[in-house]
Amino acid sequence: MDRNAKRVTELKWVEVAVYDELPVQTGKTVRYRGHEIALFRFTSGKVHAVQNRCPHKNGVLAEGLVCDEHVYCPMHERKIHIPSGAVQKPDTGCVPTYEIKIENGLVYVALPEAREVAV
């Protein structure tokens, strides 16, 4: 890194899926530059994205059973509220969530991206 530069992290909108191709009430795994994301499309039409790893022991959340706004981790069935990422009691923890936007039938996720800027 240049001595006259510093590293900053910014959010970048990344196209990850076609809205109409997303399964309803089922997870879908998408990957982008080291990020692994679980997308969920609810029957209401809303789409949410969370990190695709359970905070307990890295279960793949996109493979879990979806019930209303929750996903049950396929490994040990911890219940996670998808919109907030909160693990439900009696368990604890949180899964990072991502901001979503839908434009022209495409689903975009806001992902952190580091870059250098001159100082």
Contact set with ligand FES (CB under 6 A): 54, 56-59, 73, 75-76, 78
Helix (H) or strand (E) holding 11: strand 5-18
Please count the other Cβ atoms lying within 10 Å of the Cβ belonging to residue 65.
14
Q: Shortest distance, CB of residue 116 to ligand FES, whole angstroms?
A: 36
DSSP 101: E
Nearer of residues 42 and 74 to ligand FES, judged by Cβ: 74
Given the complex with ligand FES, which of 27 and 59 has the nearer CB atom? 59
User: Which residue, 22 or 73, is less far from ligand FES as judged by CB?
Assistant: 73
118 and 16 in contact (C-beta within 8 Å)?
no
